Amino acid sequence: MEKAIRRYWPVFVLPTLAAFIIGFLWPFLWGIYLSFCQFQTVNKVKPVGFSNYMKVFADPTFVHAFWFTALFTVASTLIINLAAFGVALLLTRKIKGTNLFRTVFFMPNLIGGIVLGYIWQSLLNGLLSKWGWPLLALSEKEGFWGLIILMAWQQIGYMMIIYIAGLQNVSPELIEAAQIDGATAAQTLVRIKVPMVMPSITICSFLTLTNSFKLFDQNLSLTNGEPAKNTQMLAMNIYDTFYSRSGPQWKGIGQAKAVIFFLVVVVISLIQLRFTKSREVQA
């Protein structure tokens, strides 16, 4: 059968392969090449070696965006996962209205990032002006927490669903056995439920980690980087470098930033792969 299938490769593989080359492979390789060049349009390209990369780290907005993103990623990953796991624990206790809660908590996930940002911009600015605080666009700290609240609203439901699926796979016999042995609720949680849902914890923490790290739409619509680019995250800083700055050097620098961004994401993914592998051994 293998031989017969191999003969049909133009039908089975070629369409995807061709689109893949157009939509990913060629832009990717070209992007790497352009990160070593100075260019404004693709017709006038001048190779400049590593100078773009040198200039990236001399750009204070990039360094600021990097730390802002790192802090945001850590904070949102912790908050979202703790909240989602807590809610999942409550919703696996067979309480009244479990389905309704699950449905509603997941719902924000279906709303796109741009729309989400504008919904929360109106809401948060309304609250802030009620309390007499500066509006979102005027304070970096408020922008940061605004983004965290928005992400929590969007992502807690998604992670909750994955945690519920994990908790439902923990065999009831195991928990019953522990209870007969006199384990308290806290002990059952720490010694049995948490280790048994470790796969879900790994998946969810890395999903939130990469989602937060690559955040763009929500950042654009909620704060647009205000005040003075102080709430710009990495993805938005790259976009801004490409399309909002004038000067012949910026597109090359933007592409170099994108390569660095890509490398950081690869490192995060490799760590995830390691975790997943080591987990498989235990299971």
Of the chain, the end-to-end C-alpha distance in Å amounts to: 35
Considering only residues 220 to 249 of the shown chain, the ones binding other proteins according to CB under 8 A are 220-221, 224, 235, 238-239, 242
**Rounded-to-10 torsion of CA 120, 125, 126, 132:** 150
Among 157, 130, 150, residue whose Cα is nearest residue 221: 150
Could you tell me how many residues of this chain bind other proteins (CB under 8 A)?
A: 90
Residue 215 is a binding residue for other proteins (CB under 8 A): no
197 contributes a contact to other proteins by CB under 8 A: no
What are the strands, taking DSSP E only, across the chain? 37-39, 45-47
Closest C-alpha to 258, from 42, 53, 46, 23: 53
Residues 45-84 that bind other proteins (CB under 8 A): none
Q: Is 190 in the site for other proteins (CB under 8 A)?
A: no
User: Which one of residues 50, 54, 78, 126 is an interface residue with other proteins (CB under 8 A)?
Assistant: 126
Nearer residue to other proteins within complex by CB, 51 or 108: 108
Q: Does 16 bind other proteins (CB under 8 A)?
A: yes
86 binds other proteins (CB under 8 A): no
The residues that bridge with 184 in the sheet, in sequence order, are: none
Give me the long-range contacts of 138-141 (CB less than 8 A, separation at least 24).
138/226, 138/227, 139/227, 140/227, 140/230, 140/231
The least CB distance from residue 106 to other proteins, in Å, is: 7
Binding of other proteins by 281 (CB under 8 A): no
Chosen residue from 171, 187, 244, 269 binding other proteins by CB under 8 A: 269
Shortest CB 71 distance to other proteins, Å = 19
Bond prior to 47 in cis (omega within 30° of 0): no
Cα–Cα distance for residue pair 107/156, rounded to 1 Å = 10
Q: By CB under 8 A, what part of segment 135-164 binds other proteins?
A: 135, 153, 158, 161-162
Q: How far is the CB of 90 from other proteins (least distance, A)?
A: 5
